[in-house]
Structure 1
Amino acid sequence: MNATLAQEACSPGTEPLATPAIANLHSIHVVVLVVSLLVSASAAMIALGAWRATRNEQAGGPHALLSIGEGRSRFMALAGLLTSAGFFIGTLFSIPAVLFVPAC
C-alpha cells in the first residue's frame, strides 16, 4: 500500500516530481504502517485463540492426523497464525524504509 501511495504521489503523470503531490505523505505512510501492524497482530491473536480452542480436537500426533484426515480446523488455525505472523514481520521490515528513505 505504501509503495503504491508513494508512486502515485511522486509520479502522477509521465514526469517524476521532486516533492510528493500528496500533502503529509509521510504521516499517511506512518498511519498505514500502524494500521497494518494492528490488523496483523489482531489476526494473529484470533488465530492463536482458534489454535488453542482446537487443542483437543483429535487425539494423536501430526502423522496420525494426516493419515486419517482429521484436524483440519487446527491446521487452518495454524495456517492463519503463520500467515498473520508473516505479515506482521514483513510490515516490521518496511518500517526503516518509511522512516529513512525519502518519499520521492
Structure 2
Amino acid sequence: PGGALLILFGLLGAAAAWVLQTEIGETLAAQACFPHRTPLAAPQWSWLMPVLNVISVVALLVGVAGAWISWRSWRVSRDAHPDPVAAISDTAPGRTRFLAMAGLILSLLFVVGLVATGLAVVLVSPCSTWR
C-alpha cells in the first residue's frame, strides 16, 4: 500500500527531520554566537531566530507526514489478506503491516523529539551557556 518508498519515508522521515533540525540549528547557532571562538551575548545575525523557527516548523511537518503515511499504510495493510497460493515475496501483507507499524511508532517518538527541540529553540537563547 503506497509502495516501498512511502514505507521507507514512514520509517525514516521523522528521524531524518530531527537529525537535520538539530544539526543545522546547532551549526547555525554556533557560528552566530561563537564566531572565532569568542562567545557573544546575542547572535550576530538578526535572521537566526526566524530561520531556526522555520526549520523547526518544517521538520515538524515532515515528522507528522511520516507518521501519517505510516498510519495510512498500516490501516490499508491490516485489512489485506495474504494469498495462500502466492510465493513469499518482499511485499507480503504481514511484512508491510509490520514495517508500517514500526514506522508509526518511530515517527511518533521522533515527533515528540521534534516538538521538544522546537520548544528549546523558542524558549532558550541560542547564545546561552549550558554549564
So what's the TM-score if we normalise by structure 1? 0.77
Matched, 1:76 2:99: yes
Deviations along 1:10-40, whole A, 9 cap, x unmatched? 1232222222133221111111111011101
The answer to which of 93-102 and 32-41 deviates more is 93-102
Gaps of 5+ in 1: 60-68
What amino acid maps onto 1:55 in structure 2? Answer: R
Report the counterpart of residue 102 of structure 1 in structure 2: 125
Change (3 A) 1:38 1:70: closer
- In the alignment, the residues of structure 2 paired with residue 70 and residue 50 of structure 1 have an alpha-carbon distance, to the nearest angstrom, of 10
1:43 CA displacement: 0.9
2:55 to 19, 25, 32: 32
Q: Secondary structure in 2 aligned to 1:54? A: helix
CA RMSD of aligned residues (A): 2.1
Show the counterpart of 2:9: none
What are the Cα deviations for residues 19-67 of structure 1, in whole angstroms up to 9, with x where unaligned?
Answer: 21332211111111110111011111111111011113457xxxxxxxx
Which of 39, 44, 59 aligns to 2:67? It is: 44
Segments ≥4 residues shifted beyond 4 Å:
none
Q: Does 1:85 align with 2:108?
A: yes
Answer yes or no: is 1:5 the counterpart of 2:57.
no
Task: Output the TM-score relative to the length of structure 2.
Answer: 0.63
Partner Cα separation in structure 1 for residue 103 and residue 47 of structure 2: 34
Please list every run of 5 or more consecutive structure 2 residues that lacks an aligned counterpart in the other structure: 1-21, 83-91
For this pair of structures, how many residues does the alignment match? 95
More displaced 10-residue stretch of structure 1: 47-56 or 19-28: 19-28
Counting aligned pairs with the same residue, the percent is 39
Check the 8 A contact 1:57/1:74 in 2, yes or no: no
- Given the superposition, is the C-alpha separation of residues 23 and 37 from structure 1 closer, same or farther in structure 2, using an over 3 Å criterion? same
**What is the letter of the counterpart of residue 79 of structure 2?**
N
